[in-house]
Structure 1
């Protein structure tokens, strides 16, 4: 009973037999894979651009029930992708006989932890940088207010804002939400892009015997993960141009991986130790990044100190239902990919 992960064949059950770690010649239908590349490109484009464009050009609100469903479904997808897909995949890779016996058995957890810490470090550094610049700006404005007389209500508001920013960091978040949102979206996008390129390679290097199954799963994976990222991008207080750039990155990354896979199809060896280490590390670190994004950026920020904390019963029910649906559906897909 065998299946493929990133071109590596994993077999369970039956008699244990020795196998070669050298490359194996397999059947690959190149035209089929080229066609699949464009189907993935179209699916990714529809999933990532639809929510962003709808919130931009229609009356669809990011605070409405529909968007709450999409956003929480996306949160479930992200968390499940990290745990069921990426961590499990990395564990299977590092258990490969072609690596021999690893002296350190917690290698996957260590790289996941590195991904979590990296995400925290980037966001914390971004917060400190934004806060430092805002405080310098506030001091500058306060000095100019004292030296140049202002009139009426505008002057009072400027002084009040300066005082708030000096005493309470919460106003720094409000005044700089665009910069902080940009950092948050960047962290999430990096976590998704890092493993998406290997998803494309995984799909292409899978032999014809298992290609149909893995391709169908990846189509659903791209659709759900695209919606998850799109919901975060659409809700972020960043410029429309930046949103389009972020969407384009997701749209092209998996097809790019598929193109790379097609180019190296006859040379690719999924059992090569270097290949296993490379994909395993990227999967593990990406899992850590997406865990941070899913639990902190999507769940905690929305449910513990965001709008959902005091949401109506209908919104809570819709949000929790969508969250569970995202967790379950992506977990089920993890059986095949």
Structure 2
């Protein structure tokens, strides 16, 4: 039987490369915009030195919060009460799924709306067509395609390998090979689903993390930076717990777990540091920056909303574990509402 690879899939690698190229091109074009295209009005709270100190603090604070959040499910797996098969883990995962769902609907999607309906953009076509929801819809469908094609490909490979094994043994052993192969295929299929979820979910989170980090790093307004840093720390902590739970269920080897945890932890601080370095030349109100950031946020929103609803919440709540325990199902729903409510409340600042 074919074994599942523990390294990120070629699709995930390709998507990461595409996102990196798009972000770099965004920076190049945004910094090339002529100054004064649509400058922000300087408010009373504008202090470059204070803002820079706060942003340096933000880099380390967000990095620590991200590392704690994503590593917490991974380092506590040895505790029996927090094992992936336990009830406590199901409740924590439901809470984290609610956080991810609220991130898509209450944080990423509104950011995209703000970008693509900004007064700094020309009226046509950006304010005459709902590009945010259109791109989010396409992103959700594309995520479904990746999910479906990867699962189908694995199923065909497994079926081919089973046919070869049955042809190599006699009729007396064919039944035993079929039974063993069917059981292994179910486990491999389940593991594959967890790995696809973990990789695609991290992709959506990374895109938004870099964009929001870049915006924070380019800001010189301490009055908005202070609450934003606190909100982002909580945001990264709870979002990291959701991603860490998915990585744990994917049962990667230590190297793959470390790589995925590293990418999640450093993306927002990297965006902040990049924004600090480009704060003198980068304008996040330039038309090019607004368009590309808005489209990236819309893609991320569609991806996160699909993953939260279909691959996380629906898969768990319609699965045998929660369907067979009404009390646990009710507690998990309360955890979902708590996660959604907490992240929705933080949308006031971030």
Tell me the TM-score normalised to structure 2 length: 0.82
Deviations 1:278-335 (A, max 9, x none): 110111000000011100011110011342121241x123211110001111111112
Tell me the TM-score normalised to structure 1 length: 0.85
Q: Tell whether the 8 Å contact from 1:177 to 1:237 is kept in structure 2 after alignment.
A: no
Is 1:21 the counterpart of 2:38? The answer is: yes
Q: Tell whether the 8 Å contact from 2:54 to 2:222 is kept in structure 1 after alignment.
A: no
Partner in structure 2 of residue 324 of structure 1: 337
Distance 1:240 1:306 in 2: 29
Structure 1 runs of 4+ with >4 Å offset: 23-26
| Shift in Å, 1:94 | 1.2
Distance 1:181 1:65 in 2: 18
Describe the SS at the equivalent of 1:98.
coil
Q: Tell whether the 8 Å contact from 1:178 to 1:236 is kept in structure 2 after alignment.
A: yes
Partner in structure 1 of residue 141 of structure 2: 117
Distance 1:82 1:63 in 2: 27
Q: 1:269 to 1:211 in 2, by over 3 A?
A: same
Taking only aligned residues, the RMSD between alpha carbons, in angstroms, comes to 2.1
Distance 2:91 2:178 in 1: 41
| Shift in Å, 1:95 | 1.4
Q: 1:105 to 1:306 in 2, by over 3 A?
A: farther
Distance 1:321 1:100 in 2: 44
Superposition pairs for residues 86-235 of structure 1, below 5 Å?
Answer: 86-103=108-125, 104-146=128-170, 156-161=175-180, 164=182, 172-206=185-219, 207-235=221-249
Match of 1:58 among 57, 79, 82: 79
Q: Tell whether the 8 Å contact from 1:73 to 1:325 is kept in structure 2 after alignment.
A: yes
Distance 1:39 1:47 in 2: 12
Partner in structure 1 of residue 268 of structure 2: 254
Q: Tell whether the 8 Å contact from 2:54 to 2:225 is kept in structure 1 after alignment.
A: no
Describe the SS at the equivalent of 1:325.
helix
Partner in structure 2 of residue 242 of structure 1: 256
Describe the SS at the equivalent of 2:39.
coil
Describe the SS at the equivalent of 2:88.
helix
Q: 1:244 to 1:311 in 2, by over 3 A?
A: farther
- 5+ residue gaps, structure 2, are 1-35
Is 1:280 the counterpart of 2:294? The answer is: yes
Partner in structure 1 of residue 306 of structure 2: 292
Distance 1:335 1:102 in 2: 30
Q: How many residues align?
A: 306
Partner in structure 2 of residue 270 of structure 1: 284
| Shift in Å, 1:114 | 1.6
| Shift in Å, 1:263 | 1.0
Is 1:303 the counterpart of 2:317? The answer is: yes
| Shift in Å, 1:184 | 1.7
When structure 1 is superposed on structure 2, of 29-38 and 300-309 the one drifting more is 29-38
Distance 2:64 2:196 in 1: 27
Distance 2:67 2:323 in 1: 32
Is 1:37 the counterpart of 2:84? The answer is: no
Q: Tell whether the 8 Å contact from 1:178 to 1:238 is kept in structure 2 after alignment.
A: no
Distance 1:240 1:307 in 2: 28
Q: 1:62 to 1:136 in 2, by over 3 A?
A: same
Q: Tell whether the 8 Å contact from 2:215 to 2:284 is kept in structure 1 after alignment.
A: no
Q: Which has the larger radius of gyration?
A: 1
